[in-house]
Amino acid sequence: MTDVAPSSTPEEITELSKQYDTPLGLAHTTMQALKDRIKQHYDLASDYYLSLWGEHIHHGYWASDEAKKSLPKEEAQIALIRLLLDISSVGEGSRVLDVGCGIGGTSRYLASQLGCAVTGITISTKQVEIAKRLTKAEASKETPDAEEDAEGFFKLGKGKVKFIELDAEKMSEFFAGDEGAFDAVWISEALSHFPNKALFFQNAFKVLKPGGKLALADWFKAEGLSEKEFADDIKPIEDGMLLPPLCTQNEYVKLATDAGLQVHGGPKDISKDVAQTWDISWSLIQNPSLWAFALSQGRDGIAFLQSFRAMRRGYANGHFRYAVIAFKK
């Protein structure tokens, strides 16, 4: 796959390039270069995500041994949403900003099940297209030929939802007229993609109402890893998943509190209860058409699928972690 990043001047080269240098030669010299690669990945791969994994492009949560044996992945994904709702206390009828909304599965759930007014944002043009298509189809079950209202919302149940193509780093300026207007910011498995995580927490603080909640689920590296443990179990994940250097859970807490937020719940480490996601994923990607697609995308595509094996190994060794955390303004 051709890198779509613009050429960089020496002044634009960041510390990111020194930290993020993959064995496949996919180094990202600037934050913009990394964001361009992420956008291109999701523009190309989102139809495959939908066909293989469904509308919720995030981990499943199996909270018991019995659940691990019997709970289908679709229900486990909903269970993860419910867990994050519980820990964050995001309530019915909330105005929610869903950051890194993917193809809109969680946004639609919050609107239809809790009556929330949800604005989903993603950097991917393709994801917005898919999200709108799926949302219109769901809305049409209630109202034939459903269309967006003047503000771009589709009505779902007692709630409503709309989707915007937007770089999350620009969300506070985009919603400048709505500063302090959201009851909740929701971000699930997206912040790990952001080069400037401190800026995200600062922006979340700006768009939240006083007392508003930040509900967060994400991937982390364990504390105190040796160089070998990092190289074996974390670096392949960063490389394949197009991630800047992963943080620990405590580093997220510090970034959030530095931005003025308070811990409301967690961190709750649920690594053992979500790891089954990658056993299922590994079985799903044995589909020959997906490997053909990956090969057509060159190094990035192959590294992405190979990272699934690294995910399983990282969880098994305890070096790769998953947690839900809630913050309050």
Which residues of the chain have a pLDDT value below 70? 1-52, 287, 289-291, 293-295, 297-301
* Cα–Cα dist 264/30, whole Å: 34
Q: Which domains does the chain have, with CATH numbers?
A: 14-328 (3.40.50.150)
Q: What is the pLDDT of residues 243-298, one digit of tens each?
A: 889 999 999 999 999 999 999 999 999 999 999 998 887 777 776 766 676 667 66
pLDDT at residue 38, rounded to an integer: 66
DSSP 64: S
pLDDT at residue 76, rounded to an integer: 97
Cβ atoms of residues 243 and 237 within 8 Å: yes
Q: What is the pLDDT of residues 17-47, one digit of tens each?
A: 344 333 333 444 455 666 666 666 666 666 6
Distance of CA 279 to the CA centre of its chain: 19
Spatial CA neighbour of 42 closest among 307, 285, 297, 322: 297
pLDDT at residue 106, rounded to an integer: 97
* Cα–Cα dist 224/297, whole Å: 35
